[in-house]
A and B are shown apart, each in its own frame.
Chain A
Amino acid sequence: MGSCTKCGNPNVIIKRKASGQALCKDCFIESIEKKVKQTIKKENFLEKGDKVLVALSGGKDSVVTLEILNSYVERHIIELCAVTIDEGIAGYREEGVEIAKAHAERLGIPHKVVSFKESFGIDLDEIMKTEGHRGSCTYCGVFRRWIINRAAREFGATKIATGHNLDDETQAILMNYLEGNMENLAKIGPKTESNSEMFTVKIKPLREIPEKEIGLYALAKGLDIHLAGCPYAQESFRMEISNILKDLSKDHPTIMYSTLRGFDKIRPALRQELAHDYEYDRCERCGEPSSNRLCRACTFLEELGK
């Protein structure tokens, strides 16, 4: 059945169709860490003295992000802090919050849990009971971003690290392309590049790692991760795209890599053509940066009567 391509160990835990490599547990773990470190270096994600805020849900992507970035803390290159968002999804979120807390404590990382309820006076379960709501994931996206930006300032963070993986990135590229959403397409990238001082730069250390390998890495390292599906997850265009990409990957195992690589090549041209620097001002209601009178979060809150 083949042994590890690197060291000959007969206990192989992955066969990478894309490269033909077979790897044992130790060599696989090493290969993931090496790859993430390469991405970090190539994209200039970290500078000595950075304080990086990890958006830590307790799911595999954020736990692995925290774990690998922690090796930079051990080498005294950066400091870490973490924020976990409690959207208020009964029966689902509690376990993730506990797992996130345990990881932060294990690694000695300053951590806070911030809820939708304390930030906005309403939680997701309550929002989902209101009439004419915009769909759970829309609120999650906008409200989480609001909380993370604010937490970054409170912690004095210089960067925000998110757990976006190769699957997330290729899904976003394909979705925006197919929908003709070119301005959003031009915004996709390894780092957010806003010239507004009001935003903390966001980095995606896992963007070149397939989602499945992140899960495998977490299990191989014995990391406790929150494994559960959100009760509000529903059929979405993103999910359709995700299924298409997974299907395609079976016979074309390099498809996600090539999609990302190709996109990264045309990105500078896209940005030049399409990205304009918005004039940012402050939201009248909450003071967060916004190009309109009200930021998106406050627009939603007004709709919800909050």
Chain B
Amino acid sequence: MSFTLKIKDQVEERAIDGDLTIKDLLDDLDLSSETMVSKKNGEIVIEEETIEDGDEIEFIQIIYGG
């Protein structure tokens, strides 16, 4: 079981074991949900959304410092 993760121009394939939500993934990657919008298969989703086999997840940073 795996999904695709896209951040900017970087795309990577990641494995899922067990239940995984967008929130878990953001926490794992040490990314702040306060500055990111998440998309699943092209649609904007909230943090509670679960990630399933074959999903394409994209994180878009919308808040930059400065």
Q: In the complex the two chains form, is B37's CB within 8 Å of A215's CB?
A: yes
Produce 1/0 per residue, B22-42, CB < 8 A to A.
Answer: 000000000010110100000
* CB interface residues, B 11-66, toward A, < 8 Å: 32, 34-35, 37, 43-46, 48-49, 60-66
Q: In the complex the two chains form, is B37's CB within 8 Å of A11's CB?
A: no
Q: In the complex the two chains form, is B66's CB within 8 Å of A227's CB?
A: no
Q: Which residues of B contact A220 (CB under 8 A)?
A: 44
Q: Which residues of A contact B66 (CB under 8 A)?
A: 137, 229-230, 232-234, 236, 239
* CB interface residues, A 224-246, toward B, < 8 Å: 227-230, 232-234, 236, 239, 242, 246
Tell me whether A15 is interfacial, beta carbon within 8 Å.
yes
Q: Which residues of B contact A301 (CB under 8 A)?
A: none
Interface size class, chain A: 20 to 34
* CB interface residues, A 17-41, toward B, < 8 Å: 22, 25
Q: How far is the CA of A12 from the CA of B47 in the complex (A)?
A: 10
Number of interface residues of B (CB under 8 A): 17
Q: Which 3 A-B pairs have the closest CB atoms?
A: A233-B66, A215-B62, A229-B64
Q: Which residues of A contact B43 (CB under 8 A)?
A: 11
Q: Which residues of A contact B37 (CB under 8 A)?
A: 212, 215-216, 219
Q: In the complex the two chains form, is A246's CB within 8 Å of B44's CB?
A: no
Q: Which residues of B contact A229 (CB under 8 A)?
A: 64-66
Tell me whether A1 is interfacial, beta carbon within 8 Å.
yes
Report the minimal beta-carbon distance from A201 to chain B, rounded to whole angstroms.
27
What would 11 more interface pairs be, CB under 8 Å, given A1-B48, A218-B62? A13-B46, A14-B46, A212-B37, A212-B62, A212-B63, A215-B60, A216-B44, A230-B64, A233-B65, A234-B66, A246-B32
Tell me whether A204 is interfacial, beta carbon within 8 Å.
no
Of chain A, the residue at the smallest CB distance from B34 is A246
Q: How far is the CA of A282 from the CA of B44 in the complex (A)?
A: 51
